[in-house]
A and B are shown apart, each in its own frame.
Chain A
């Protein structure tokens, strides 16, 4: 057959038309999609024998008991689910978003898998893998040099906690090495400890018997948003629904305010005045506990004069925006309740509050006599089980310890404050005292969590040698010279003393649920190894072979019970009776009257910045040293985060033409960022609110780059009495993007 032009074209065109019109391409596409569905990238999780391990979650200071489900497989034990531990005194089976996502931290891509030494410039992200021997030798060499030059005091350590054996080992190492600069991460714990110290003369943390209280007056505390031990507080909130009342005093309709029986919207920063005005009504109408006030308190007359003269409901109503009749009714219902409780510390309590405010609120508790009582506030001593022999310092160490702290805590200006981390960046940058040559960071992420991120980064750049003990590649680890990764909480032993806010001393034991997944080492063991390399008095202070041996010995006869039950509770503990509860000079509860009039002024000029920016906290956003794992970030609403854009809450009345979802520039004296606007009728006009816990630059692609870190927009404001950073907001403006 001859192929002519016509037949050739017919073939081509006919073929093309036939192929197009036939179901073949569609069929092939369908087949290939079904075929690729069967490809083995959808995992088939291996099954095996199931077992459970009880432990303690240490992702926040809440100290919840957890039960971890494991399955034994050919690749070893796999932890497959974290659940709340039934019967635990803190959380009894309940658990929060972060705790539930713990396995994503254990197995996640953010883990630091081996000791790392910086290879490029600071923060560049180029690392060299080194062995543990090399890593420890490197630290010891640097510390030895400094000590040799008599500069041991130029070493500082930032720690997430100061309780428990690991933190004690760290503190002990610093002391015997010769540095006074052990610094705990700030929180309302500082403010409450100081309040307890000044008013009750005790070194104790404040415990709140929330389960037994029937009237809770909260000055802005995010009772169900992570304040105290989060799961315990949410449980208590459910109890209050049945037999109790909650009044939330706050300028924004938080979840706590929405769930409270009454929400009192107050001008921000005027909480102390409101508390004193409530005291005014209680005293004027003689609603206070005469027994407590007359027999167990001192300074009441002076206190009475001040509040009666200066804090009448009419005057205070003008300052706070709360009507005089509301103040009167609050006072009456508070004093009239059988077990009233007043608490403060904004949001999750990550920023300390002004001492003025804490003292005013605690005075309310004293007026109704609920100190160390059922349903009230208790002074809870540390469970006193760490009884190691006193360290013996050599002369170098003693000299170093005499130099005085870099942050000014315990100095003449701030004699009663123990730690002032928020002053550290300025102390380093100004260089007025002495430089910091080496910085250790453990269980903390200061580059992210300390206000004024720019200043913090500058301070880090001035420190020649930064060592991070982080298990995760967080912002601080990224800016370190050396990372000595700790095991994560599911891989290590750790004692967890009394969770924050609990009214009785307990100890929890974190246990290894699975074997260490990577080449990490327990921080306790690293300290012991460092001390041994030093020899001399330093090594003598650490007579244990391993951290586990140290922990077992320290816990003594409590160990077996802790291993079996997961926690130890002091069943004999009773809060001290009023006769012997107060170690003040008068032996009585002190109505402290100093610094009363001073209120905290926030940064920024009202003309240039007509709005006030405040942070808000959420259970779904971890804002501490742990970043949100993928499950947690998935629960965040699309009116908070959309793509990488963060939303600020604005009242439609003060939105000035910004419509819902509009892009805007949010500026404060500290910086400007791009945001989007979300209209929220629950926020007081004139305020803008930004969620905490976003804006990470480190961690993985599931978290990094999403939103803005609130700390970039705010700087510290010092409390005149305590020196703590008590900035509750900052002046701000919104402009067109």
Chain B
């Protein structure tokens, strides 16, 4: 599978999220739910079973008034590449329901293959995966807004952010009908990127030096994609998951919050 599709250059779709710009407004979360037919229940305040492919976390610097500070951190699926596509979730899936695409760099989730063992949820260090404990129920009439591009999931399967993969498919279909093999940068954008009023989310191909994501994060592909930009960081960098979502922050405490440190330890977030 790995080396197929030689006729197109391999993509590595990824994201850069500017935490200085992110206002925590939550538009990305709602944009994701609306795009991907994400269900909802009467009570969504138990965040362990509340399905949010994109979830905005609130970070605090732990200082007292008036030195206290907060920062918001949107968390989609990181689409980890790991080592040659061995993302934590992909390695453990006994059903091959989740796979790493070397063509796009997207970690897929095939609901009809998933039998709900939830190994992938245990393996994911980012809590990006959610289990459908119940069948989705839309109130009478509300099914009308469901998008035909994304199938609603049934009880008993795991779901997660797909980088709006159906948008990639639609864009590719369009490109093929126009006899093109390559997409332009703006042809394939995720729903959250498009909605973000702050313009804090940037999406594109990390292999393409002309794409904004590459220019900003400056991933060092020789060293597992580590960002060269000193303000950029990835979550839990030292686990070696090689995620494709980069964060930017000018604040040191925010960069340090991206990983676990023992007290007084110098680390990635230190510079």
Among the listed B23, B64, B143, B146, which residue makes an inter-chain contact with A681, where contact means beta carbons less than 8 Å apart? B64
Smallest distance from the beta carbon of B47 to chain A beta carbons, Å? 5
Among the listed B27, B62, B138, which residue makes an inter-chain contact with A97, where contact means beta carbons less than 8 Å apart? B27
Q: Which residue on chain B has the smallest CB distance to residue A231?
A: B197
Contact yes or no, A634 B147, CB < 8 A: no
Given A42-B153, A43-B152, answer yes or no on A80-B20 (Cβ-Cβ < 8 Å): no
Given A80-B146, A94-B197, A638-B47, answer yes or no on A241-B21 (Cβ-Cβ < 8 Å): yes
B162 lies within 8 A of chain A by Cβ: no
Contact yes or no, B45 A681, CB < 8 A: no
Contact yes or no, B70 A682, CB < 8 A: yes
B185 lies within 8 A of chain A by Cβ: no
Binds B, one of A100-108, A351-359, A405-413, A588-596: A100-108
A79 lies within 8 A of chain B by Cβ: yes
Given A84-B194, A235-B198, A642-B45, answer yes or no on A43-B143 (Cβ-Cβ < 8 Å): yes
A432 lies within 8 A of chain B by Cβ: no
Among the listed B31, B50, B62, B148, which residue makes an inter-chain contact with A95, where contact means beta carbons less than 8 Å apart? B31
Contact yes or no, A96 B25, CB < 8 A: yes
Given A42-B153, A234-B23, A702-B40, answer yes or no on A78-B197 (Cβ-Cβ < 8 Å): no
Provide the residues of chain A in CB contact with B31, threshold 8 Å: 95, 100
Provide the residues of chain B in CB contact with A241, threshold 8 Å: 20-21
A9 lies within 8 A of chain B by Cβ: no
A23 lies within 8 A of chain B by Cβ: no
Contact yes or no, B143 A94, CB < 8 A: no
Contact yes or no, A78 B145, CB < 8 A: yes
Provide the residues of chain B in CB contact with A94, threshold 8 Å: 27, 195-199
Q: Which residue on chain B has the smallest CB distance to residue A252?
A: B65
Among the listed A80, A108, A255, A631, which residue makes an inter-chain contact with B23, where contact means beta carbons less than 8 Å apart? A255
Provide the residues of chain A in CB contact with B146, threshold 8 Å: 43, 45, 80
Contact yes or no, B152 A619, CB < 8 A: no
B144 lies within 8 A of chain A by Cβ: yes
Q: Which residue on chain A has the smallest CB distance to residue B56?
A: A635
A641 lies within 8 A of chain B by Cβ: yes
Binds B, one of A257-265, A279-287, A330-338, A577-585: A257-265
The binding surface of chain B is classed by DSSP as loop
Contact yes or no, B136 A45, CB < 8 A: no
Contact yes or no, B143 A45, CB < 8 A: yes
Contact bitstring B24-42, A, C-beta under 8 A = 1, else 0? 1111011101110100101
Given A97-B29, A635-B30, answer yes or no on A263-B141 (Cβ-Cβ < 8 Å): no
A349 to B72, CA, bound (A): 23
Smallest distance from the beta carbon of B229 to chain A beta carbons, Å? 16
A241 to B199, CA, bound (A): 12
B200 lies within 8 A of chain A by Cβ: yes
B58 lies within 8 A of chain A by Cβ: yes
Contact yes or no, A683 B65, CB < 8 A: yes
B215 lies within 8 A of chain A by Cβ: no
Contact yes or no, B194 A42, CB < 8 A: no
Q: Which residue on chain B has the smallest CB distance to residue A80?
A: B147
Among the listed B45, B68, B145, B156, which residue makes an inter-chain contact with A104, where contact means beta carbons less than 8 Å apart? B145
Contact yes or no, A701 B195, CB < 8 A: no
Given A107-B141, A635-B29, A702-B42, answer yes or no on A237-B23 (Cβ-Cβ < 8 Å): yes
Among the listed B62, B70, B139, B143, which residue makes an inter-chain contact with A700, where contact means beta carbons less than 8 Å apart? B139
Provide the residues of chain B in CB contact with A106, threshold 8 Å: 145
A107 to B198, CA, bound (A): 29
A100 to B31, CA, bound (A): 6
Q: Supply 6 further A-B pairs (C-beta < 8 A) apart from A71-B147, A638-B47, A681-B62.
A: A43-B138, A48-B148, A97-B26, A100-B31, A253-B70, A255-B24
A-B contact pairs, 7 of them (CB 8 A): A71-B148, A78-B145, A100-B30, A104-B142, A636-B44, A636-B45, A638-B45
10 closest A-B pairs by beta carbon, nearest first, are A94-B197, A47-B148, A681-B68, A619-B25, A635-B26, A45-B146, A103-B145, A100-B30, A234-B197, A224-B23
